[in-house]
Amino acid sequence: MKSTTYPLLPLYIISSLIIIAIIIGSIYSYNRSNSLSMRIDALSSDIITLTRSLSSTTAALQATISQATSSLSLALNAQQQNVGAIQQQLGGFQSQVGSLSGSLNTLQKLAQTDPELLKKYSKVYFLNENYIPAHLSEIPLTYQYSDLKQLLIYTNVLPRLESMIDAASSSGVKLYAYSAYRSFDDQKALKNDYRIVYGAGTANSFSADQGYSEHQLGTAVDMITPGLGGVVDGFDRTNAYQWMLSNAYRYGFILSYPKNNGYFTYEPWHWRFVGVKLATELHNQGKNFYDLDQRVIDGYLVNIFD
């Protein structure tokens, strides 16, 4: 018997095996991919859920934060407004206190300032014979023309006089105090002396009647410079007089009786302290003290020693 051979059998078996393997592989891979895609689906739905909940949480958080921020800034604004209002109130109080203490200072200064110091004296308005300045000081001898008699001047005026004489000296001008405070009795005695020497008519023309002399105030000073033979006459022909005309106001001094004034004899040597402010105003406006209204002058009293 002829045996039948199947030479292709191994090939069939191998092919079948391969086909089976492919089928199993496909099924497996299909299953696998199926389960993977399911997992992916599940995951992505998880992700979507998560994203949704995250975004809603974020939105809620943002809303909360913005609400908190706005209420905080509102509270802050309110606080700032409060602070502002308080500061404004405080400022108001301070300025009130300031202006109160300012007017109090002014009142105190005025109360302490002798109103006579800026009065215009005439034959109808004059100082009482008992009037004595509140504070008088000795003029150091270096500022006096002569050391025969100790001169006195209103205490607050002394430093101004010294500064003025020092300033003149620095510009090569020699100035000295020749006469300053004179009491009612001094003035009376002086007048009598003049009367004896010159006669009553002449004496009246160059020495004020006792009582309304500015010298009794303690703020007037007669100035002199060397070269006049020890008298004040002719002072207006000197450099010292020119220097005084240009500079005395800086130290608060004015010429009481300038040339051609309608009140009293021309006295180029006679300078009265009226305060730097008033003296400067008069100098700048080319006016005379005695031409001003007394009420206008009185306005300068509070600042007379500033």
- Indicate which single residue of 270, 272, 289, 290 sits in contact with Zn ion (rule: CB under 5 A): 270
Under the phi-then-psi rule, with left for phi > 0, alpha for psi from -120 to 50, and beta for the rest, what region is 230? left
Dihedral sign from CA coordinates of 193, 199, 205, 211:
positive
Site for Zn ion in 61-100 (CB under 5 A): none
236 binds Zn ion per the rule CB under 5 A: no
- Per CB under 5 A, the segment of 84-92, 154-162, 168-176, 266-274 that binds Zn ion is 266-274
- Per CB under 5 A, the segment of 26-34, 85-93, 99-107, 222-230 that binds Zn ion is 222-230
CA distances from 203 to 69, 155, 182, 212 (A): 94, 30, 17, 15
DSSP 8-state assignment for residue 136: E
Q: Which amino acid is at 191?
A: K
Smallest separation, CB 113 to Zn ion (Å): 22
- Per CB under 5 A, the segment of 11-19, 141-149, 153-161, 269-277 that binds Zn ion is 269-277
Q: Give me the phi and psi of 167, to 5 degrees please.
A: -65, -45
Nearer to Zn ion among residue 41 and residue 185 (C-beta): 185
Q: Which helix (H) or strand (E) holds 178?
A: strand 176-179
Smallest separation, CB 271 to Zn ion (Å): 8
Say if CB 254 and CB 281 are below 8 A apart.
no
By CB under 5 A, how many residues form the interface with Zn ion? Answer: 2
Smallest separation, CB 305 to Zn ion (Å): 21
- Which residue of this chain has its Cβ atom nearest to Zn ion in the complex? 270
Q: Which helix (H) or strand (E) holds 232?
A: none
Smallest separation, CB 270 to Zn ion (Å): 3
222 binds Zn ion per the rule CB under 5 A: yes
Interface residues with Zn ion (CB under 5 A)? 222, 270
